[in-house]
Amino acid sequence: TEWSVIDQIRSGSDAPSSMVLINDLLKRYWKPVYCYLRRKGADNERAKDLTQGFFQEIVLGRSLVEQADKSRGRFRTLLLTALQQYVAGIHRKESTHKRMPRGGVIALDQLEADEIPEAPAHFSPEESFHYAWAAQLLDQLLEEVEAKCRTEGKALHWQVFHDRVLRPILENAPAPSLAELCQKHGIESVSQASNMIVTVNRRFRAALKRHIRRLVVQDDDVDEEFRELIELFARGSAR
């Protein structure tokens, strides 16, 4: 779980291994931090600079990961609170920049705009942070489920799911009918196409809950986190 990783870092028994784990957490959370700063009004370059400063001064400099306490709730919430406090005291940025390693702690120089999840315009900076985190998780899950389908000889299942469910969402277009999908992919019946979609959908939901379980302390928190993710995307598509 995410907290077990943090516990390993806190133990500090193996410094090189701890740094690897810390770097993994940084890669997981820099996009949410960057999106929060952009929504707060920072332009691209300033947001990248402040992202580097936050991770260098707060996360690494003040050992935020090592001091994280799971009794206080989710690590994501702790990180967001620290980010809000960092932005409130932004006058420290200049001294932070002087102490920053050359190139920063995260490779942002080659950052492309299309790599950043674009939160809905009506989202607050806090909602943009959570949205970027969730969008990154969603991309990871879709890649995982697609790869599993292809490995198990269910590439057609994935394609039908993609055409019926994913493409309409991504392209904001009407979903094709099951009959159209049957004709396009040579599927014998509408019920068979429907079963394919159900199969992939179940795998996706199972993968999502499996990933969520790694982020929470108790199994009882899985359903709550799952509902929050669904509500977040629902709010994003409501306007």
Q: Provide the CA 101 distance to its chain's centre, in angstroms.
A: 26
Q: Tokens representing 93?
A: 């940025």
Whole-number mean pLDDT of the chain? 80
Buried (b) or exposed (e) across 143-155, using 16+ Cβ within 10 A?
A: ebbbeebeeeebe
Write down the pTM of the prediction: 0.60
CB 160 within 8 A of CB 205: no
Q: Tokens representing 83?
A: 């980010």
Q: Answer yes or no: is pLDDT of 147 > 60.
A: yes
Residues whose CB is less than 8 angstroms from the CB of residue 33 and which lie 6 or more positions away in sequence, other chains included: 51, 54, 55, 79, 83, 129
The residue with greater pLDDT, 219 or 34, is: 34
Distance CA 146, CA 135 (A): 16
Q: Tokens representing 185?
A: 């992919």
Q: Around Cβ 196, how many Cβ atoms within 10 Å?
A: 23
The pLDDT tens digits of the residues spanning 150-168 come to 999 999 999 999 999 888 8
Distance CA 74, CA 79 (A): 9
Classify 150 as helix, strand or coil.
helix
Res 32: pLDDT: 92
The residue with greater pLDDT, 210 or 233, is: 210
CA angle 66, 70, 72 (to 5 degrees): 110
Q: Tokens representing 31?
A: 């996009």
Residues in the chain: 239
Q: Answer yes or no: is pLDDT of 113 > 70.
A: no
Distance CA 214, CA 234 (A): 23
Give residue 232's pLDDT band: very low, low, confident or very high (50, 70, 90): confident
The residue with greater pLDDT, 105 or 139, is: 139
| % of the chain with per-residue pLDDT over 90 | 24
Residues whose CB is less than 8 angstroms from the CB of residue 39 and which lie 6 or more positions away in sequence, other chains included: 119, 123, 124, 125, 128
The average pLDDT across 213-222 equals: 74
Amino acid at 177: S
First to last CA, the chain: 35
